[in-house]
C-alpha cells in the first residue's frame, strides 16, 4: 500500500468518507444519529492499492502536544491485510513530527474490530472526552508516542 497525503477536497477521499459514514450508520443502527462533518484543520492520509484509494485516516490537533485520530476506514474488500495498522503508524508518525506526542481517539462500542486494533497498537482506554461526552456508544483511547519506539 502507498500512503499519500490528500486534501479534504480530494474526490477519492470523499468517496471513502461517504462509505465510512454509511457503514457506521448501518453498524450502529442509527443509534447515535451523528453525521461527522469534514474539517479544514485535519491532515488526511489515503491508502492506495493498485492505483485505487481503499483506506483513509486523519489526525487533528486538539490542544498543545495532543492530536486526535479520526476517520479511520478501510473498504471491506481490503480488510484483513494490515492496511489499518499501516495507516495508524503513518498517522502517528505525522502527528509526532508535528509536535503532538499524545494521540487520542474515539470509536463506537459497536465496532469491536476497531477497539481490538487500537488496543493491539498500544492505545489505552480513557474517559470519554470533548464532543463525545454524553454519547453512550463512545469509547475513547489514548497513546503516548514518547513512551513507544517503533
Give the pLDDT of residue 33.
Answer: 47
Q: Which H, E and C letters describe 83-138, residue by residue?
A: HHHHHHHHHHHHHHHCCCCEEEEEEECCCHHHHHHHHHCCCEEECCCHHHCCCCCE
Give the pLDDT of residue 31.
Answer: 47
Q: Is the dihedral of CA 89, 95, 97, 102 positive or negative?
A: negative
Domain ranges of the chain: 2-147
In order along its 150 residues, the chain shows pLDDT tens digits of: 999 999 989 999 999 999 999 998 887 665 444 444 555 689 999 999 999 999 999 999 999 999 999 999 999 999 999 999 999 999 999 999 999 999 999 999 999 999 999 999 999 999 999 999 999 999 999 999 986 544
Residue 72 CB-density burial (10 A; 0-12 exposed, 13-18 middle, 19+ buried) = buried
CA-to-CA distance for 107 and 109, rounded, in angstroms? 7
Q: Shortest CA distance to 107 belongs to which of 143, 132, 140?
A: 140
Q: Shortest CA distance to 91 belongs to which of 45, 54, 125?
A: 45
Q: Which CATH superfamily is domain 2-147 in?
A: Gcn5-related N-acetyltransferase (GNAT) (3.40.630.30)
**Distance between alpha carbon 120 and the CA centroid of its chain, in Å?**
15
Give the pLDDT of residue 63.
Answer: 94
Question: In the structure grid, which three cell numbers stand for residue 61, read together?
Answer: 490537533
Q: Is the pTM of this model over 0.75?
A: yes
Angle value at C-alpha 106, between 79 and 138, nearest 5 degrees: 105
Give the pLDDT of residue 28.
Answer: 66
Give the pLDDT of residue 122.
Answer: 96
Amino acid at each position: 500500500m502507498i500512503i499519500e497525503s490528500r486534501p479534504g477536497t480530494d474526490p477519492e477521499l470523499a468517496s471513502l468518507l461517504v462509505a465510512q459514514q454509511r457503514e457506521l450508520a448501518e453498524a450502529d443502527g442509527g443509534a447515535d444519529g451523528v453525521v461527522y462533518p469534514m474539517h479544514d484543520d485535519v491532515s488526511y492520509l489515503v491508502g492506495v492499492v493498485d492505483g485505487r484509494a481503499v483506506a483513509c485516516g486523519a489526525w487533528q490537533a486538539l490542544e498543545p502536544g495532543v492530536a486526535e485520530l479520526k476517520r479511520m476506514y478501510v473498504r471491506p474488500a481490503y480488510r484483513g491485510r494490515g492496511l489499518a495498522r499501516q495507516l495508524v503508524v503513518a498517522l502517528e508518525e505525522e502527528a509526532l513530527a508535528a509536535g503532538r506526542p499524545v494521540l487520542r481517539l474515539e470509536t463506537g462500542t459497536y465496532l469491536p474490530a476497531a477497539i481490538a486494533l487500537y488496543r493491539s497498537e498500544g492505545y489505552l482506554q480513557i474517559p470519554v472526552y470533548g464532543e463525545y461526552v454524553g454519547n453512550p456508544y463512545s469509547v475513547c483511547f489514548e497513546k503516548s508516542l514518547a513512551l513507544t519506539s517503533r
